[in-house]
Chains A and B, each alone.
Chain A
Amino acid sequence: MAEPATVRDGVAAVDRRAGRDARARIRRTAGSMVRTVVLLAVAGVIVIPVAYAVLGGFRDAPQLAADPVGLPNPWVWSNYTDSLTSPSFWVQLRNSTLVAGISTVVVVLFGALAASVIARREFPGRELAYTVFTLGLLFPVTVAILPLLILVRDLGLLDNPLGLALPEAAFGLPLTIIILRPFFRSIPQELEDAASMDGCGPLGFFFRILLPLSRPALVTVGVLAIVSSWNQFLLPLVMVSSESNWTLPLGVTNFSTQYTTDTARILAYTTLALVPALAFYVVAERELVGGLTAGSVKG
């Protein structure tokens, strides 16, 4: 007598639970569909302009005006080959690489030297020095650009790669020191004592032990320095006059004002300037993200 009721109750309960589960599942599915749609739409808005630039370079101007959507038909190679065979592109690529190389080496080496003592030595004024360096994070080059021009002119470095690389390195010091300090601090003192007992001086410890042990952090600050130097526009705009010293951002803007009507040529040139940065990004994404989040989230 009681048994069927129990079974019926049990079945009903199972039904109810199944209904609830099904509703929850529907809600979850609906939620994940909304999420998928939003994420794909955002991804589209990012990818489409880049794809437009890359593919647009393979069209000619009339094609671009008539039908900018879809694949080029026919594929026009001359925009890319013209740019790739023009000496100015290669000169700008070389200048950008040279400036980024110098500024990165300087900022990583100087920043690591300073961060190592700020992290590991007791000396009067240490906290003050750290505060002064971190304040620099507030002031990108924009604020100081007018007097910086006068200074670089007085140093005789106008129109010289060093006139770009040294200020870039100086303005990169704050972030470099902020990222390296906790890393250097975490390396145990015992290691330094042992090294010192084996006759290793401060410089020897720095180069032979501290730097090799901190390779991941050094790669991170290096990647950040390369990206910011590569994209720097205001400094070369002000400091560089002769075309043989242009960097890619200068070359690209100039190209775009020179050929205002030939959009396809502009897109091809822009793409060529963009490709090294994107390729570098795909390789170094982890270091870049790691560095920015370590620098900004953990302070």
Chain B
Amino acid sequence: MATAIRSRSRTGRNLRAVGAAGAFMLPALALYALFVLFPIIQAARFSLFDWNGLEALDQFIGLANFERALADPIFLGAVSHNAFIVILSLTVQIPFALGLALMLNRRFRGRAILRLIFFAPYVIAEVITAIVWSLLLQPNGLTEHFLTAIGLEDAYHPWLADPTTVLFALFFVITWKFFGFHMILLLAGLQGIPREVEEAAAIDGASRWQGIRFVTLPLLGPTIRVSVFLSVIGSLQLFDLVWVTTRGGPVNASNTMAVYMFDRGFVRFQFGYGSAVAVILFLICFVLALAYQRWVLRRDTEGATTYG
């Protein structure tokens, strides 16, 4: 009798625990399902229609929007611009951030203030970054004055207004805004590597450069891979900065997928077509993320003995 009561009350308690778990999850799940998951599914649905966002959703056209996007040189150009930014980020921005992280990973006076300065652009809104740099780079702006002052007036060029240089100029501004973020990540990773490992390498006769190349970098691998991943995803989603500085111009030379989507969807009211572009962007990110998870990040969770 007593056992029965105890076991019943235990079942009751378990049930209550499960119920409580559900109740605790509910607000977050509901919010997330409504504003994140549902819109992504909706985008997939809208992408199959010819729709301006206002009238009834009844012009089903199958995959025609996708065919149109993949045949549009302007969209393909936007994809290649995103790829260009991705490549520059990986080959220039992350090595740059890594170099600075290595420099800051030792004690010296002023280190804290430098870290504070380097990371500051990360909290400055992309919109504000875009406005200030547009003014700095425009003709008769500070950059031109500065170059003239040091006798290099020929070096000035209206970079943002020239289709052949606009992507490099945007990449410079992107780096200005985001290198500090990667530097902070890498610095945190560096500080997780015990000093003794590097000292042991030095005692064994490794030069500082060899120590970095063969000891520090391999141990920093997991952090570098996270940094690379975030940089790729961020470069693919690029919108605010481009929209405010160039709107994708001049003559589409700095269009990105997100800018193209926004322009077609909200400026020209091609909601169905814009959704198809969003789905393509989503799929590119998703496939890259899965592949990266599968082929690169997995090693970190499997061999997570040196890192926790």
Please report A residues at the B interface, Cβ cutoff 8 Å.
Answer: 32, 35, 38-39, 42-43, 45-50, 52-53, 56, 65, 67-69, 106, 109-111, 113-114, 116-118, 121, 123, 129, 132-133, 136, 138-140, 142-151, 166-167, 169-171, 173, 177, 202-203, 206, 227, 230-231, 233-234, 238, 248-249, 252-253, 256, 263, 266-267, 270, 273-274, 277-278, 280-282, 285, 288-289, 292-293, 296-299
Determine whether B128 belongs to the interface, using a CB cutoff of 8 Å to chain A.
yes
Interface residues of A, dominant DSSP: helix
Whether B66 sits at the interface, judged by CB under 8 Å, is no
Separation in Å of the A55 CB from the closest CB of chain B?
10
B275 touches A146 (CB 8 A): yes
**Can you identify 22 A-B contacts, CB atoms within 8 angstroms?**
A39-B100, A42-B118, A49-B132, A50-B124, A52-B136, A67-B145, A68-B142, A69-B142, A113-B25, A118-B25, A142-B258, A143-B43, A144-B35, A146-B261, A147-B46, A148-B39, A151-B35, A151-B39, A267-B132, A267-B135, A277-B123, A289-B119
Q: Cα distance A280–B230 when bound, in Å?
A: 25
Residues of A within 8 A of B75 (CB): none
The 8 A-B residue pairs with the shortest CB-CB distance, nearest first, are A170-B35, A147-B42, A114-B28, A293-B188, A144-B39, A231-B125, A147-B39, A110-B28
Q: How far apart are the CA atoms of A229 and B188 in the complex, in Å? A: 25
- Residues from chain A with Cβ under 8 Å of B39 in the complex: 144, 147-148, 151
For the complex, count residues of B whose C-beta is within 8 A of A. Answer: 85
Q: Does B118 contact A263, Cβ atoms closer than 8 Å?
A: no
Q: Are A69 and B36 in contact (CB under 8 A)?
A: no
B224 to chain A, nearest CB (A): 11
B29, A129: Cβ atoms under 8 Å?
Answer: yes
Is the C-beta of B286 less than 8 angstroms from some C-beta in chain A? yes
Binary contact track B93-118/A, C-beta < 8 Å → 1, others 0: 00000001001100010000010111
Query: Which residue of A56, A129, A150, A277 is within 8 Å of B124 (Cβ)?
Result: A277
**Interfacial chain A residues near B181, Cβ < 8 Å:** 292
Supplied contacts A202-B20, A292-B185, 8 more A-B pairs, CB within 8 Å: A142-B258, A145-B261, A202-B24, A230-B125, A231-B127, A234-B262, A278-B124, A297-B185
Contact residue among A114, A129, A146, A166 (Cβ-Cβ distance under 8 Å from B35): A166
Give the CA-CA distance A45 to B180 in the complex, in Å: 12
**Chain A nearest Cβ from B178, distance in angstroms:** 12
Q: Does B166 contact A (CB under 8 A)?
A: no
Binding site for A on B (CB under 8 A): 17-18, 20-22, 24-25, 27-29, 31-32, 34-40, 42-43, 46, 53, 100, 103-104, 108, 114, 116-121, 123-128, 131-133, 135-136, 140-142, 145-146, 149, 176, 180-181, 184-185, 188-189, 192, 222-223, 226-227, 230, 233, 237, 239-240, 243-244, 258, 261-262, 265-266, 271, 274-275, 278, 281-282, 285-286, 289, 308
Q: How far is the CA of A47 from the CA of B116 in the complex (A)?
A: 11
Residues of A within 8 A of B146 (CB): 69
B131 in complex: contacting residue of A144, A252, A282, CB < 8 Å: A252
Q: How far is the CA of A202 from the CA of B108 in the complex (A)?
A: 49
Q: Which residues of B contact A298 (CB under 8 A)?
A: 308
Within the complex, the shortest CB–CB distance from B273 to chain A, in Å, comes to 10
B286: chain A residues within 8 A (beta carbon): 138
A173 in contact with B28 (CB, 8 Å): yes
Q: Which residues of B contact A56 (CB under 8 A)?
A: 135
Distance in angstroms between the alpha carbons of A120 and B50 in the assembled complex: 47
The answer to whether B118 touches A270, judged by C-beta atoms less than 8 angstroms apart, is no
- Contact check, B123 vs A278: say whether CB atoms are below 8 A apart: yes
Q: Given that A143-B282, A170-B35, A292-B185 are known contacts, is A234 also in contact with B239, CB under 8 Å in the complex?
A: yes
CA distance A230 to B239 in the complex (A): 16
- Among A38, A113, A227, A280, chain B packs the most CB atoms within 10 A around the CB of A113
Distance in Å from the Cβ of B285 to the closest Cβ of chain A? 6
With contacts A252-B127, A277-B123 taken as known, whether A123 is within 8 angstroms of B237 at the C-beta atoms is no
**In the assembled complex, which residues on chain B have CB atoms less than 8 Å from the CB atom of A42?**
100, 118
Q: Which residues of B contact A263 (CB under 8 A)?
A: 135
Are the CB atoms of A146 and B116 closer together than 8 Å?
no
Please tell me if the beta carbons of A147 and B275 are within 8 angstroms of each other in the complex: yes
B282 in contact with A139 (CB, 8 Å): yes
Decide: A142 near B103, CB < 8 A? Known: A121-B21, A173-B31.
no
Q: Is the CB of B29 within 8 A of A69?
A: no
Interchain CB contact under 8 A, B35 and A143 = no
A150 to B285, CA, bound (A): 23
A139 to B293, CA, bound (A): 15
